[in-house]
Structure 1
Amino acid sequence: MPPVSPSAHTADQSHPARRFSLGLLVPMLLGTSMNPLNSSVIAMSLVLVSEGLHTSMKHTVWLVIAFYLASATIQPVLGAMADRIPPFPLFSGGLALVAAAGTMGALANDISVLIVSRALIAVGTSASYGATVVLIRIAADDYGPSAAGRALSITAAFQQCAAALAPVLGGALVGPFGWRAAFLINVPIALCAIALSLPLRHLRWHRAPGENRETLDPIGMLLTIAVMTSGCLTLTDTPVGHLIPAITVGPALAALIWWESRHPRPVVDVRLIGRNPLLGWVYFRFFISGVVLYSVTILGPQWLQQGHDLTIFDVGLVLAPMTFLAAVISLAAVRIHDKRRILMVANITQLCGTLTLLLVDGATPLGVLMAIMLLFAAPIGVLYMASQDEVFRLVPKEQVGASVGLMRAFWYSGAIVTAALSGIIFGEEASASELTPLALSLVTGCSIVVLGDLLVQQIRRRRFASNEDLRLDPDVDRPLDVV
């Protein structure tokens, strides 16, 4: 029997079996669910906004792009801030900004104001999310790592359910109450989360001696924003075109790497990624999967309506079983400690789903389409939860906020790539024949993910077998076949 380290004994004795109380968990669930909720709920309102404000869809679609762009840009920065300052004010302040921005959007009569409102909602929800991750990490000192890990899985599952159910909620709100309801819904949720968040103030936030004198790395934050903004704008149809952002992204990235590799507490820890390539792989895999799943949930309905001549009601029927199954899988996965196994299965089913898309055409029966969409339920249900869990395993606890924020930035970058693919492949209208090049692109991405995970598993297994210290350490991150 391998020896157990003293630290493991200490942790077990100092953290008896405890669970987060509802008073702690509910405001966290509300705060973290607002980002994925707003990511999808606006989709049901775009046509009504265009008609109500007498503006073109070319301008209205910026309600989506602005949210993705702001989320991708600001998530790493606000995550780093949550690591360095008391997270509760950041949590409540972010929710207050969401409530104010939702009110502004609900009262707006100009598309520019709506776009600003969406960007501010993205900033506010990103702040509350980054703070929640750090609050859970802090709570691990009182409740133990297992309770904190379970709380983290529950919040991730709740986010997945919110994202999956957002289109349904959007339709239920926008139908009877108009497009302004998509903005106004943020106000009661944000205010409720703020009112319920008072118990979070009692979580003990502290820094090691001298850490509170460290800077927030403002130069690193500005460079991170510059890289993410220029990179994302390169992929979007902007008034300045693609050339200017494309020219600036390279120098900005070089400056970011140079600066952050020398800063004692960087926003983007390039040294950590360099020492641990597995972390970089988690980010890259999350980006590829973001492209695939956003293609299925955003471009898929567009193709079903235009290329398969389905009504909105029929599209809802096709997506409803996938949505329900994804929510069930996500909730069930909370109880699984090591989520790498279910992630491997989910990635394989995701590849199978993209392969079946190669066989779909305008004559494919509705029942077959529903069965194909079910193959994407597992990755939708577990991808985010498992990736977040893996980041927690790989980074020091004082860098959790920034690292998870960077992971989410890769996710929203995938959403922006999906929007670019829509313009390149579908153009103004999707047809049945145009699904094939999209499916080929998705098959390529999913194949890279599956093969990459298999390679990582082989590397883990060899490293584990060749190092006796790893085999004797009960806390080591073991390969799947010995966990």
Structure 2
Amino acid sequence: MIPKLARHGATTVPGSSPTAFDRRLIAPMVLGSVLNPINSSMIAVALAPIGLAFGAPPSRTVWLVSALYLATAVGQPVVGRLVDMYGPRRLYLLGTALVGAAGLLGALAPSLGALIAARVLLGFGTSAAYPAAMQLTRREAERTGQDSPAGVLTALAVANQTVAVVGPALGGFLIGVGGWRAVFTVNVPLSAACLVLGALRLPRTQRPTGNRRGVDLPGMALFAVTLVALMLFLMGPRLDRWYLPVLFAVAAVAFAVRELRVPEPFVDLRVLGGNVPLIVTYLRQFLGYTTSYAYLYGFTQWLEEGRGLDPSTAGLVLLPLSASALAVSTLTGRREAVRSKLVVGSLVQIAGCVTLLLVGAGSDLWVLLVAGAVMGVPQGLIGLANQTALYRQAEPARIASAAGLLRTFMYLGALGASAADAGFFAHRADTAGLHDLALFMLAGSVLLLATTLSDRSLSTLTTRKTGNTGITASTGNTRNTRKA
């Protein structure tokens, strides 16, 4: 049988149907993309036992969260750009191999510093699979001429959201069976599974015809310095750290000047600056996940320290969060309805934040379960809506790097959330700190609702099929003709 080729002529998809998405790609895409959220969420119930093991307070163990997000926020768009240039297969395999190495390092780590290093490796290693999945989705849409991959996008979103909220329960189970080191060790078999599936099923990509000068290494380096300086300051904003915002400003200006002058920039600021709907989508991603992760980490720590639950029980209390997120994503996934999902998700998130203001150390268990179920609804709506919006709004040739930036803003939100948790729980995760955190989350949720209601472009997102000759998408005031 002669292999069928993707429309770009760059991707070989042996035996795939010319009119249907190649379902053999779904397993490696989904499994690889969940490596990051599962490591992001499992650590929530491991922070307390790790702190006890190394005699570290929450202000130090929070680096286990921040280190991963620092690495991922930088790594996602960088690796995404490399995926756009060199194809998804090789970056996927390299990244998932690094996840296995990080798992081994964490399982054997003799100190908190070594654990933090393992989390940095996990951040970089898990940065490849999601941009690769988004590019594979785009290429399959172009190959088949069917620009309606709602089922595939839903599978990615549901898997990521479900794993993120199941993670604490899984982490609690692993800790109960094998101690906190098990939350690192589990990455070894997961990495092996990704490597096998990726090697067998991901299409091979022809070597790029250009030379390596197309890789904007100075731009990537300036982007990394800009982002790291900003995030380090946000993690602990103090007057004695004045040099961090200065470094951020200088690096940001240098980055902008560089990207506007080179012919093949890492981030095409001209295109991005003219795509206001996409920029607003990034902002909504940041706001939505700031609240989501503040709840995930803050509420979990409060359950253990303020409510007195053990890690396994705390993980079980969050199961309604998982159930409601999965149910909502599954029921609404095949309908794009981006604006409706964002509006409803914002309103329910506001209701969940208000619920937290009523929770106390003596609250009945059923109240805590209801609070989790309520907060699961926006998790099932907001992430899926933003992912669909990005798919419609991003330039097709840079879909992987655009998807990487979407994850960057998600982890900027997570980093802001972890900094808020550390600030409100400076010494102990008590009820007063939880209520302060709830007010912080409430403010972010209100801003999310405001940016959604004011964005008219969401009402004009459309899908048009043009056979196998091209794909046209309308995104509000921005109109892109996408040629396959």
TM-score between the two structures when normalised by the length of structure 1: 0.85
Counterparts of 1:192-231 in structure 2, within 5 Å, are 192-202=193-203, 215-231=214-230
1:20 matched residue in structure 2: 22
Indicate conservation of the 8 Å contact 1:43/1:167, yes or no. Answer: yes
2:248 matched residue in structure 1: 249
Q: Distance in 2 between matches of 1:447 and 1:339?
A: 18
Alpha-carbon shift at residue 460 of structure 1 (Å): 6.2
Q: Confirm or deny that 1:414 pairs with 2:413.
A: yes
Q: Distance in 2 between matches of 1:53 and 1:356?
A: 34
1:10 matched residue in structure 2: none
2:440 matched residue in structure 1: 441
Q: Confirm or deny that 1:426 pairs with 2:425.
A: yes
1:395 matched residue in structure 2: 394
SS at match of 1:376: helix
Indicate conservation of the 8 Å contact 1:161/1:330, yes or no. Answer: no
1:125 matched residue in structure 2: 126
Alpha-carbon shift at residue 317 of structure 1 (Å): 4.9
Deviations 1:384-413 (A, max 9, x none): 222111111111111111111111111111
Q: Distance in 1 between matches of 2:32 and 2:418?
A: 26
Q: Distance in 2 between matches of 1:354 and 1:287?
A: 17
Deviations 1:146-185 (A, max 9, x none): 4644323211211111111111111111212122221111
Q: Which amino acid aligns with 2:272?
A: I
Q: Distance in 2 between matches of 1:358 and 1:268?
A: 41
Q: Distance in 1 between matches of 2:307 and 2:55?
A: 29
Indicate conservation of the 8 Å contact 1:78/1:402, yes or no. Answer: yes
Counterparts of 1:353-364 in structure 2, within 5 Å, are 353-364=352-363
Alpha-carbon shift at residue 214 of structure 1 (Å): 5.5
1:167 matched residue in structure 2: 168
Counterparts of 1:49-448 in structure 2, within 5 Å, are 49-53=50-54, 58-146=59-147, 148-202=149-203, 215-237=214-236, 242-310=241-309, 312=311, 315-448=314-447
SS at match of 1:476: strand
Aligned-pair identity in percent equals 32
Indicate conservation of the 8 Å contact 1:287/1:411, yes or no. Answer: yes
Q: Distance in 2 between matches of 1:65 and 1:437?
A: 21
Indicate conservation of the 8 Å contact 1:79/1:402, yes or no. Answer: yes
Query: Against the structure 1 CA distance between its residues 318 and 192, is the aligned structure 2 distance closer, same or farther, given a 3 Å change threshold?
Result: closer
Q: Distance in 2 between matches of 1:133 and 1:476?
A: 19
Indicate conservation of the 8 Å contact 2:20/2:144, yes or no. Answer: yes
Indicate conservation of the 8 Å contact 1:287/1:414, yes or no. Answer: yes
Indicate conservation of the 8 Å contact 1:354/1:439, yes or no. Answer: yes
Alpha-carbon shift at residue 123 of structure 1 (Å): 0.4
SS at match of 1:197: helix
Alpha-carbon shift at residue 364 of structure 1 (Å): 4.1
Query: Against the structure 1 CA distance between its residues 237 and 443, is the aligned structure 2 distance closer, same or farther, given a 3 Å change threshold?
Result: closer
Indicate conservation of the 8 Å contact 1:91/1:132, yes or no. Answer: no
Larger CA deviation: 192-201 vs 121-130:
192-201
Indicate conservation of the 8 Å contact 1:131/1:401, yes or no. Answer: yes
SS at match of 1:329: helix
Deviations 1:233-286 (A, max 9, x none): 112259996333222111111212222223333222322232121111111111
Alpha-carbon shift at residue 125 of structure 1 (Å): 0.7
Q: Which amino acid aligns with 2:258?
A: W
SS at match of 1:40: helix
Deviations 1:418-454 (A, max 9, x none): 1221232232123333344322222222111112211
Indicate conservation of the 8 Å contact 1:20/1:151, yes or no. Answer: no
Deviations 1:267-315 (A, max 9, x none): 2232223212111111111111111111111111223444445555664
Instruction: Please report the RMSD computed on the Cα atoms of aligned residues, expressed in angstroms.
Output: 3.0
Indicate conservation of the 8 Å contact 1:19/1:147, yes or no. Answer: no
Structure having the higher helix fraction is 1
Query: Against the structure 1 CA distance between its residues 131 and 19, is the aligned structure 2 distance closer, same or farther, given a 3 Å change threshold?
Result: closer
Q: Which amino acid aligns with 1:143?
A: T
Larger CA deviation: 55-64 vs 339-348:
55-64
Query: Against the structure 1 CA distance between its residues 281 and 239, is the aligned structure 2 distance closer, same or farther, given a 3 Å change threshold?
Result: closer
Query: Against the structure 1 CA distance between its residues 108 and 443, is the aligned structure 2 distance closer, same or farther, given a 3 Å change threshold?
Result: closer
Q: Distance in 2 between matches of 1:50 and 1:437?
A: 23
Unaligned runs of 5+ in 1: 1-14, 465-472
Indicate conservation of the 8 Å contact 2:44/2:301, yes or no. Answer: no
Q: Which amino acid aligns with 2:441?
A: L
Query: Against the structure 1 CA distance between its residues 181 and 366, is the aligned structure 2 distance closer, same or farther, given a 3 Å change threshold?
Result: closer
Q: Which amino acid aligns with 2:385?
A: A
2:474 matched residue in structure 1: 476
Unaligned runs of 5+ in 2: 1-16, 463-470, 478-484
Indicate conservation of the 8 Å contact 1:236/1:242, yes or no. Answer: no
Query: Against the structure 1 CA distance between its residues 405 and 474, is the aligned structure 2 distance closer, same or farther, given a 3 Å change threshold?
Result: closer
